[in-house]
Amino acid sequence: MAEERFDRATAPSTRLRSARRIRHVLGAACGAVIALLLVEVLVSVAMRYLFGSALFGADEAALWLFQLLVALGCPLAVEGALAMRFDFVTERLPPAGRRLAALVADAFVLAAAATLLGGGALAARAIGGLSPALGLPEWLRPALMAAGGATTLLLLVLERSAAGRLPRLLASALMVAGMAGLAFGLGPSAGLAPSLAAGLLALLGLLAGAPLPHLLLASAAFADGFGGALPPPALVATTLSGVAKFLLLAVPFFLLVGSLLSDSGAAGALVRFAAALVGHRRGGLAQTTLLTSVLFSGASGSSIANAAFGARTFAPQLAARGYAPAEAAAIVAATSTLDNVIPPSIAFLLLAAATDLPIGRLLALGFVAGGVMAAMLAVAIALRAREGDRQPRADAGERRAAFLGALPAFGLGAIVVAGIRFGIVTVTEAAALAAGYTLLLALGGRIGWRALGEAFTEAGTGAAAIGLLIGASAPFAFLLAVDDAAGAAGALASSFGDGAWQVLLAANLVLLVAGLVLDIGVAILLLGPILVPVVAAAGIDPVHFGVLLVVNLMTHGLMPPIGILIYVVAAVTKLPPAALFRAVLPYLGALLVALLILSVGALLVAA
């Protein structure tokens, strides 16, 4: 009997350890894929510029590796920060409501995993032929997604059973069957457009706290019952085609740059240089936080990376200078919005991939937009700063020393922006060169092998989750295209009038509302292809509007209910998100003023 009790007690922990080992292996695999991608692209660049030859099959190999990364992201994006869950509603529910929301959330994960498993297996059986350059069988690509779905199911069973929630998981499976029965039984007579049905289901999953990529996949799968013309094999194929873009390979490289910056010492050098320039002004430390965000933007391209860095670096010091903890954290969150506007910008990469807008012009105008945003934030900081927040003015020698110390970090900006703007390298090649450069800086800073591996794993898992989100958005975008959502958006814009300012006002309002419930990446991928042609037809430069779109959506990083930058900073500082949402209001107002100024500028250029 004692032995039986021991076995029962240790079984959950054994399952939990197994799940953790699987996650560890998947994370290490993501890091290895990033390393292979980096080596492959750098070798390709070296051969082209040094030897005038090309690495045969390099582009195809890179895309296959990225699709492998997306498949690895499916199980990893179920829990933790990679899940990108919207938990604003679920946190406020009573215990019974939370349990029900958890059942619904798991139902969406089960539906997405089953769709990838079944659809990927069926697509693998139906697809024949070999890839053009590498000669690999084409069925391997959907088979990777099937494996991702199977691993997701395995992890879900292990983790839920270890937590004693296996009966609830079975209830979630019954819920999936019920939702599928309703969709395919009543869908044809419901009279709902497939995209609207998918949108309503996605809203249900969002409110229940389901992982964002999985709820998009599951909602698109259920929409097939409403005439969505995306059976599971087609959905998997659409997901794969959504990430089969060479431009998207820049995303993991920029994430790697952000992961390696602190270890290289370049981030600290940027802080010292910013403090030497503006630390003596009113609100000196807060202004240093802002200027560091401006400088850091040219290196990381990720607002989330900057928010985490700033929360660790500046929030405690701001609080020590007399700022209320929530005010200090709000300053960090607000200044972090600049990273997806000032190049290099992952948001602009997503927009260019979704709309075919020229990435070079987007990056160039991103400097202008980022400058306007930074100026408005500087005014807001000065108006609210504590008088005692100053440091002695740095003399010329101290500024010169700080500038020389920050020069290695400035090299990143030269590689990325100059290389892209002058057509020397592609965006992906520039991102790979920046990652290689930052790796050399980190090695020069004597980074340990453990820390180096963690940097690659962090970048790899983050890129896997973003890649899965991009792929999951593709079936949704297909449904919107089939239902002529662009025509509906055009009609909505026309209802405000047919002038340029009326159309731009309508587009900004659509983005402001959509950004309240959509992650910025999803909003760009879904709304960019719809709104850009509508605004361009009204005579507004589509590239100018593309910049406005990103600026508009970045303000939602500070707004409830999603407010991802608020949640990131709150997680690091251990402060309640509600307090940060209140404290950030003045800085959010400054960013909305910047959006207004940029909108007027776009109208003046159009005129």
Q: What pLDDT sits at residue 305? A: 60
Q: pLDDT digits over 88-100, tens only?
A: 788 788 988 898 9
Q: What pLDDT sits at residue 543? A: 92
Region of residue 227 (left: phi > 0; alpha: psi -120 to 50; beta: else): left
Task: Using the predicted structure, report yes or no on whether residue 150 has a pLDDT greater than 90.
Answer: yes
Nearest partner of 345 among 469, 520, 218, 483, judged by Cα = 520
Q: What's 557's DSSP letter?
A: G
CB 232 within 8 A of CB 122: yes
Q: pLDDT digits over 239-284, tens only?
A: 998 888 777 787 788 778 777 876 777 766 766 777 777 766 766 6
**Mean pLDDT of the region 78-106:** 83
**Mean pLDDT of the region 519-546:** 85
Nearest partner of 476 among 214, 109, 192, judged by Cα = 214
Considering only residues 74 and 323, tell me which one the structure prediction assigns the higher pLDDT: 74
Region of residue 80 (left: phi > 0; alpha: psi -120 to 50; beta: else): left
Buried-state track 133-142, b at ≥16 Cβ within 10 A, e below 16:
eeeeeebebb
| Pair of tokens at residue 142 | 């959907």
Nearest partner of 496 among 484, 485, 510, judged by Cα = 510
How confident is residue 115, by pLDDT bands cut at 50, 70 and 90? very high
Task: Using the predicted structure, report yes or no on whether residue 506 has a pLDDT greater than 90.
Answer: no
Query: Cis omega before residue 252 (within 30°)?
Result: no
Q: What pLDDT sits at residue 588? A: 93
Alpha-carbon distance of 22 to 513, in angstroms, equals: 39
Nearest partner of 508 among 473, 556, 557, judged by Cα = 556
SS3 130: strand
For the ranges 316-325, 369-378, 439-448, 463-472, the lowest mean pLDDT is seen at 316-325
The pTM score is 0.78
| Pair of tokens at residue 79 | 């829990």
Measured from the Cβ of residue 377, the count of other Cβ atoms closer than 10 Å reads: 27
Considering only residues 10 and 596, tell me which one the structure prediction assigns the higher pLDDT: 596
Q: pLDDT digits over 12-42, tens only?
A: 678 888 888 999 999 999 999 999 999 988 8
Q: What pLDDT sits at residue 4? A: 47
**Mean pLDDT of the region 501-515:** 85
Alpha-carbon distance of 402 to 191, in angstroms, equals: 65
**Mean pLDDT of the chain, nearest integer:** 81
Measured from the Cβ of residue 216, the count of other Cβ atoms closer than 10 Å reads: 31
* % the chain with pLDDT above 70: 86
**Mean pLDDT of the region 510-516:** 79
Measure the CA angle with vertex 554, ends 553 and 558; round to 5°.
Answer: 110
**Mean pLDDT of the region 161-165:** 84
CB 476 within 8 A of CB 526: yes
Measured from the Cβ of residue 351, the count of other Cβ atoms closer than 10 Å reads: 25
**Mean pLDDT of the region 543-568:** 84
SS3 helix, strand, coil % of the chain, rounded to 5?
Answer: 80, 0, 20
Q: Helices marked H in 359-448 — which ranges?
A: 359-384, 396-413, 419-421, 427-444
CB 391 within 8 A of CB 280: yes
How confident is residue 387, by pLDDT bands cut at 50, 70 and 90? low
CB 195 within 8 A of CB 480: yes
How confident is residue 605, by pLDDT bands cut at 50, 70 and 90? confident
Alpha-carbon distance of 392 to 400, in angstroms, equals: 16
Q: Helices marked H in 89-135 — which ranges?
A: 95-126
What string of DSSP letters covers 298-359?
HHH--HHHHHHHHHHHTHHHHHHTT--HHHHHHHHHHHGGGGGTSSS-HHHHHHHHHH---H
Q: pLDDT digits over 292-317, tens only?
A: 777 766 555 567 666 766 676 667 76
**Mean pLDDT of the region 156-161:** 88
Measured from the Cβ of residue 4, the count of other Cβ atoms closer than 10 Å reads: 8
Alpha-carbon distance of 264 to 268, in angstroms, equals: 9
Query: Cis omega before residue 232 (within 30°)?
Result: no
Q: What pLDDT sits at residue 2? A: 44
Alpha-carbon distance of 352 to 360, in angstroms, equals: 10
Task: Using the predicted structure, report yes or no on whether residue 5 has a pLDDT greater than 50.
Answer: no
How confident is residue 375, by pLDDT bands cut at 50, 70 and 90? very high
Torsion of CA 506, 512, 514, 519, to 10 degrees: 140
